[in-house]
């Protein structure tokens, strides 16, 4: 009870919420919180007098939104869709991790490995065969399997050389090119997941939207390689036990 004998109001005022959030989000303002409410991203209760009262769940929801905007550059439309999926039970709440804290394992590629080379090296089909140590028939198999893809002039890049060399080495263990389609399909699924997150950002009208999307793609690609490597390592250990 309050000193006046009235029941104490549960929840926090918008000013108290602002003080809670400012430590982690210095740019947040009362106007920003009101805007997020107007957009339907948070729905605090109202007292009979019309004052907002925020619950702990409301504050966590605000943290989710602010983190998604700051660290993942997600537009509000995408964030709202994520929250709606959580509300309906078709998704679970996850802690959004900032791109600057990537879990890249030692020896694996970093986001910089996915930057486009401004002066890429190109190989003819003959050079590809020679450098990868394969014959023309093997290159034909790689092309048919979709593991490599020539450019408009029929040339190949360094990634194609890596694929051809790796495929040749795996063939020495008895794996045929057709068996490697499984790796391609897995890579395409992972790329599709990355695209779902990055595409809305790239289409944004604000300055630097394309650059932020490209940065996000590189970071997620590096994380996917780390995750894939760790999962394969664990699965191989189980297969040998």
CA-based nearest residue to 51, from 70, 65, 25, 30: 30
Beta strands (DSSP E) in the chain are 45-46, 52-53
On the question of pLDDT at 2 being above 80, the answer is: no
- How far apart are alpha carbons 3 and 42 in whole angstroms? 31
* pLDDT range class, residue 39, cuts 50, 70, 90: very high
On the question of pLDDT at 151 being above 80, the answer is: yes
More confident residue, 83 or 108: 83
- How far apart are alpha carbons 216 and 212 in whole angstroms? 6
Structure tokens at 175: 């794996």
Structure tokens at 213: 């999307």
Q: Which residues contact 69 (CB under 8 A, 6 or more apart)?
A: 76, 79
pLDDT of res. 87: 81
**Cα torsion 9, 47, 12, 59: sign:** positive
Q: What does the pLDDT look like over 158-194, one tens digit per residue?
A: 999 999 999 999 999 999 999 999 999 999 999 998 8
Walk me through the domains of the chain, giving residue ranges and CATH numbers.
Answer: 14-96 (1.10.1660.10), 111-240 (1.10.1660.10)
Mean pLDDT of the chain: 85
pLDDT of res. 65: 92
SS3 assignment, position 157? coil
Whole-model pTM? 0.57
When pLDDT is averaged across residues 67-79 and rounded to a whole number, the result is 82
When pLDDT is averaged across residues 199-222 and rounded to a whole number, the result is 78
- How far apart are alpha carbons 40 and 79 in whole angstroms? 11
On the question of pLDDT at 102 being above 90, the answer is: no
């Amino acid at each position: 009870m309050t000193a006046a004998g009235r029941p104490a109001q549960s929840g926090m005022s918008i000013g108290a919420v602002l003080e809670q959030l400012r430590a982690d989000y210095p740019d947040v303002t009362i106007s920003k919180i009101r805007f997020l409410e107007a957009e339907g991203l948070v729905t605090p209760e109202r007292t009979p007098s019309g004052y907002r009262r925020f619950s702990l769940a409301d504050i966590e929801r605000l943290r989710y939104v602010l983190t998604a905007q700051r660290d993942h550059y997600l537009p509000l439309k995408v964030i709202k869709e994520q929250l709606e999926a959580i509300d309906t039970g078709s998704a679970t709440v996850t802690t959004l991790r900032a791109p600057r804290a990537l879990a890249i394992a030692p020896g694996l590629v970093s986001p910089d490995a996915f930057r486009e080379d401004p002066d890429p090296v190109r190989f003819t089909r003959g050079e590809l065969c020679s450098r990868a140590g394969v014959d023309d028939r093997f290159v034909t198999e790689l092309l048919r399997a979709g593991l490599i893809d020539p450019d408009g002039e029929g040339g190949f890049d360094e990634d194609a050389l890596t694929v051809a060399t790796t495929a040749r080495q795996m063939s020495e263990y008895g794996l045929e090119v057709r068996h490697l389609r499984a790796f391609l399909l897995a890579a395409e699924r992972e790329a599709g997941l990355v695209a779902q997150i990055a595409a809305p950002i790239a289409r944004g009208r604000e300055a630097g939207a394309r650059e932020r999307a490209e940065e996000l793609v590189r970071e997620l690609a590096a994380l996917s390689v780390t995750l894939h490597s760790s999962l394969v390592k664990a699965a191989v250990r189980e297969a040998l036990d």
